[in-house]
Structure 1
């Protein structure tokens, strides 16, 4: 139990505290809560009668659109390593069945969400349809935590769940970029982001390594690393974020083009692996440096986004919950079974097909990313609040997972002492 608590404090505790505080505050004194959320940090004063270009920076914008870019960059780092590195978990045949299951874990919730909304009538459907992506999300940290409780840390289903969650994150980032722009689309601004990524990669990554070819001392790469460290990538990140913001895509995704440009290790040990703390490539060093600041950012994300009044529970709440608690397990079971049996791609040794149902229940914890999608899918108001409540209630999936695990007689497998 100590290891579970240690993991919780490392990755999720501040987020939970922020969300619980927001719920309590919004339901006891909603006026002061909403005033806090929209607190104006900075406002440029209009010159004379010229109001064009007048901008306001609120606390909500600072956290959701600017600081959350660091959270999505860390998620993108894990996806990038899983896809391109030699030991990447999303490479080769071993990733085939989890990737099929990921697709099921997205199409299942979408089908349930939109299908139920359609049967509720055209007015309801029109009001909630844009939230179809909310139940597709899987909160990696919370799902991993619950997965360890249900299966035990050494069970192959936990690794399967992680592969699924990482792939789900990758798909979620794509969905956010394509289907939920933050404003009028102006894709030409993305050329700035692309140029920043290419230039910083060529000048500060590829070129020093090219100049060091054949020299084991690697003087140029060492000089760049020692004297410039992360600074060129921070500058490129700021430029890329600005490009995303002006392009109309959600600026929280603005650091994604820079992640592949940063020097990285030639192998990956896996998400949440202790071994990664011993890697000294710049990408891992930056991730380790950002870990605690991102925890604080997630606290404020929970505080600013989870403050929903219980009176706002509505159709969107139940649709999000149904998408997660019904659509996820059914989709993951159907697509995972199809990959494992008819397509003969198999499942990891020590796993049963019925375990896919339990994995689907665990993956139904949407929370962080579901909250984020709800905040961009709907304008502030009753529907957004109802959808957010569904994302918060997805914690019920943890209890459902434990119960379903008992019913399906999951044999817990703890790590061997040597590990």
Structure 2
């Protein structure tokens, strides 16, 4: 089994470092912490045909909507390669089980939020039937961090990471579509579509052996990718969709390797295609971005415990596992879906437990889905408590019998 790049662990630790610092800050001096994250750096007045009203540049907006697009570009590249490249982990029928578990978990978390919100009075400002997008996402980095301690380098680690990445991206898409309005702003989506098609037409293939050295250098240039990326991000943001997904339409258009070496494979550091070169250039910036994201969105106020905390925790720890289990039963009974080769049955409960964590995407969704103030902070505390599922999975893995590979 291929080695996972050590940068993934560094990403997770950078995120946790930001969360720890933010939590210490918000509990020691909450006023200065909230002043920091809400500080208006500048107010931009854009033409009405681009954006209605004033755009306030805050620390939250810059990190979440702009810089985090680079992180989702990195993990989106891994998901796309797994689905379409030769030997991809999700190529063809291999995608059946992971995608089914991903959608089952999303549905279970959303339904649990709606049901628990009816049973528990969360807050006076709560909107009936609202907030269901808050618990949808998980955290691919923390799943990898704890998953390595649970599974080592066995296939279960790569499967659970793929499910986590797919869940995060689909959750952001659902958040965007739930907030989108049918108006002319959606026409801005033609901009990333056009930029992607043009980039793919001109630079989307690796240079052939018969080309001149000048043509080969032009085909390997990253400048067209950067220009197209700026247009893609702007078009997605102007359309009212989550701006953090603004670079995803660009991924299929960039020249790439012909086969997949695995999820975050260390071997990809030796590839020279433009897509892998771009990702290598982003490693250190993304590490800093994740620290800043943890600092700005990871502050857990210990005094914020409220009924919304229980709703968020119940959605992640009860709704998502039940949704995934029901999806697995449905796939097995309707289509005879079997576990992938090398994946033991004992791996499934541990994988589901790891996927019951929620941080990166829920931290974004809470801001967009819930009314401001105490309700958001209470939901953020539930999100933080859900991270205990990671150490719990590690403990259970130590107590369970030794792994025996499945023969299916």
TM-score (norm 1): 0.85
Partner of 1:86: 86
Alignment check: 8 A CA contact 1:355 1:410 kept: no
Residues 42-94 of structure 1, C-alpha deviations (whole Å, 9 max, x = no match): 34599xxxxx9654322221111111111111122112212221222211223
Partner of 1:203: 202
Partner of 1:371: 363
Question: Quick one: structure 1 residues 118 and 7, their matched pair in 2 at CA, closer, same or farther if it must change by over 3 Å?
Answer: same
Please identify, of 388-397 and 377-386, the stretch whose mean Cα deviation from structure 2 is larger.
Answer: 377-386
Please identify, of 160-169 and 82-91, the stretch whose mean Cα deviation from structure 2 is larger.
Answer: 160-169
Partner of 1:96: 96
Alignment check: 8 A CA contact 2:176 2:240 kept: no
Whole-angstrom CA distance in 2 between matches of 1:406 and 1:125: 44
Give the one of 191, 197, 218 matched to 1:224.
218
Please identify, of 84-93 and 173-182, the stretch whose mean Cα deviation from structure 2 is larger.
Answer: 173-182
Partner of 1:30: 30
* Equivalences, count: 398
Alignment check: 8 A CA contact 2:45 2:53 kept: no
Q: What's the CA shift for 1:183? A: 11
Whole-angstrom CA distance in 1 between matches of 2:5 and 2:223: 35
Whole-angstrom CA distance in 1 between matches of 2:122 and 2:168: 31
Alignment check: 8 A CA contact 2:143 2:354 kept: yes
Pairing of 1:156-175 with structure 2 (within 5 A): 156-175=155-174
Please identify, of 117-126 and 74-83, the stretch whose mean Cα deviation from structure 2 is larger.
Answer: 117-126
Q: What's the CA shift for 1:223? A: 2.7
Alignment check: 8 A CA contact 2:122 2:307 kept: no
Alignment check: 8 A CA contact 1:43 1:57 kept: yes
Residues 97-135 of structure 1, C-alpha deviations (whole Å, 9 max, x = no match): 222222222222222222111222597794474332232
Whole-angstrom CA distance in 1 between matches of 2:166 and 2:44: 41
Alignment check: 8 A CA contact 2:271 2:277 kept: yes
- Structure 1 residue 383 and structure 2 residue 375: aligned? yes
Partner of 1:19: 19
Partner of 1:333: 325
Residues 163-207 of structure 1, C-alpha deviations (whole Å, 9 max, x = no match): 32233234224213312449987101111222222222222335x
Structure 1's unaligned 5+ residue stretches are 47-51, 415-419
Secondary structure class of the residue paired with 2:228? helix
Partner of 1:140: 140
Please identify, of 189-198 and 63-72, the stretch whose mean Cα deviation from structure 2 is larger.
Answer: 189-198
Whole-angstrom CA distance in 1 between matches of 2:106 and 2:184: 25
Whole-angstrom CA distance in 2 between matches of 1:122 and 1:204: 52
Whole-angstrom CA distance in 1 between matches of 2:334 and 2:181: 42
Pairing of 1:41-60 with structure 2 (within 5 A): 41-43=41-43, 54-60=54-60
